[in-house]
Homo-oligomer: A and B are copies of this chain.
Amino acid sequence: MPFPPEQKTRSRAQILQSARKLFNQYGYTEVSIDRVMADAGLTRGGFYNHFDSKEELFSATLADFACNRESEVADVMEPHPEIARQIVRHYVSRQHQDDFAHQCPLIALPSDVARASSKVKQVYERVVKALVAMFETNVDTSLDKRQQSLALAASCVGAMVLSRTIDDDEFAAEIRDAVIQMSEEMIDA
């Protein structure tokens, strides 16, 4: 093997990291492969050593994120309502809205995914299911736990989707606060 054996792996990871950040901030269609590769410190042609197409890169960035979230919810048995509350407060926050490098694709890329292939949608779906699973694990309610978890996930996503599209900071904060308040009541009702 004529290259340092870890180099290709490192380059791939770097491309994924740059792609995630740029896609989250500017959108899948707006970001060119050139821009991703330049951000990763590489040049355009090398891209196809790592991915077959731009869409495959998109799918890979989502899979990467889904994988991390899935491993977080695995093997937790006891409900911890405080964890659910903390996650909501972090998810539905201005800080999350501005942190493109770590932003949840559910709020960063919904339209982009809606128009992508089934393959991309199925990866995105894993992220939705990981968020719902987190609620199902940690919500402590006498009501239908599954239904509450689905509604909580939708509400958090909705609050952030609206928050990021709204120019008026105060109004955006009002929406986020309203959903946090509602969530706290739902998490242990």
Q: Give the interface of A toward B (CB within 8 A).
A: 26-27, 29-30, 106, 108-115, 118, 121-122, 124-125, 128-129, 146-148, 150-151, 153-159, 161-162, 164-168, 171, 174-175, 177-179, 181-182, 186
- Using CB atoms, name the residue of chain B closest to A182: B151
Determine the distance from Cα of A118 to Cα of B169 in the docked complex, in whole angstroms: 12
Describe A's contact surface by its main secondary structure: helix
Cβ contact within 8 Å between B159 and A154:
yes
9 chain-A/chain-B pairs, Cβ below 8 angstroms: A26-B115, A27-B115, A30-B115, A111-B112, A124-B166, A147-B177, A150-B178, A154-B159, A157-B158
Determine the distance from Cα of A178 to Cα of B30 in the docked complex, in whole angstroms: 34
Q: How far is the CB of A98 from chain B (nearest CB, A)?
A: 12
Q: How far is the CB of A101 from chain B (nearest CB, A)?
A: 17
Contact for A30 among B29, B162, B167, B168, CB less than 8 A: B29
Determine the distance from Cα of A181 to Cα of B115 in the docked complex, in whole angstroms: 28
Instruction: Check A110/B27 contact, CB under 8 A, given A147-B178, A154-B155.
Output: no
- Which B residues are CB-close (under 8 A) to A29? 27, 29-30
- Which B residues are CB-close (under 8 A) to A113? 165
- Which B residues are CB-close (under 8 A) to A177? 147
- Which B residues are CB-close (under 8 A) to A182? 147-148, 151, 186
Q: In this complex, which of A113, A153, A159, A165 has the most chain B Cβ atoms within 10 angstroms of its Cβ?
A: A165
Q: How far is the CB of A142 from chain B (nearest CB, A)?
A: 14
- Which B residues are CB-close (under 8 A) to A164? 110, 114
- Using CB atoms, name the residue of chain B closest to A132: B175
Q: How far is the CB of A18 from chain B (nearest CB, A)?
A: 18
